């Protein structure tokens, strides 16, 4: 089973409130989104113990059924570039960044670990 979960209108609330959660926002047909999906999936598969206690999800923004997520996320209107990665801690948006990159993600997750100690 892949650690990269598909997140939609039916499961986003439980996902973001699950402790530490990384949500990649993407759109269908976005080459950069597909590349980051592949990079992240490969990293998670290559080292299953990397980032213990963190859930990873991908939400396709141009799929239907996301009205509740969009209403609950006013910051979404500021997102211009995809993929866009959001790290939630305890249901709250803690960090976010445009673009992909496992190394960038790793740096942000490490900084959160230091901040929450």
Q: Mean pLDDT in each 10-residue stretch from start to end of the chain (117 residues)?
A: 90 95 97 97 92 95 94 94 96 94 94 63
Contact status, residue 80 vs residue 23, Cβ threshold 8 Å? no
User: What is the reported pLDDT for 94?
Assistant: 95
Nearest alpha carbon to residue 58 among 79, 78, 37: 37
Burial classification of residue 71, based on how many CB atoms lie within 10 Å of its CB (0-12 exposed, 13-18 middle, 19 or more buried): exposed
Q: Is residue 9 exposed (0-12), middle (13-18) or buried (19+ Cβ within 10 Å)?
A: middle
pTM: 0.92
């Amino acid at each position: 089973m892949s650690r990269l979960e598909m997140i939609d209108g039916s499961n986003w609330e439980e996902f973001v409130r699950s402790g530490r959660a990384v949500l990649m926002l993407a759109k269908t047909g976005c080459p950069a989104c597909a590349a980051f999906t592949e990079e992240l999936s490969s990293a998670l598969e290559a080292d299953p113990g990397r980032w213990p206690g963190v859930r990873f999800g991908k939400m396709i923004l141009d799929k239907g059924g996301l009205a509740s997520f969009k209403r609950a996320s006013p910051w979404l209107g500021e997102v211009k570039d995809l993929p866009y990665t959001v790290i939630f801690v305890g249901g709250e948006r803690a960090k976010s960044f445009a673009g992909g990159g496992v190394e960038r993600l790793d740096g942000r997750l490490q900084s959160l670990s230091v901040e929450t100690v």
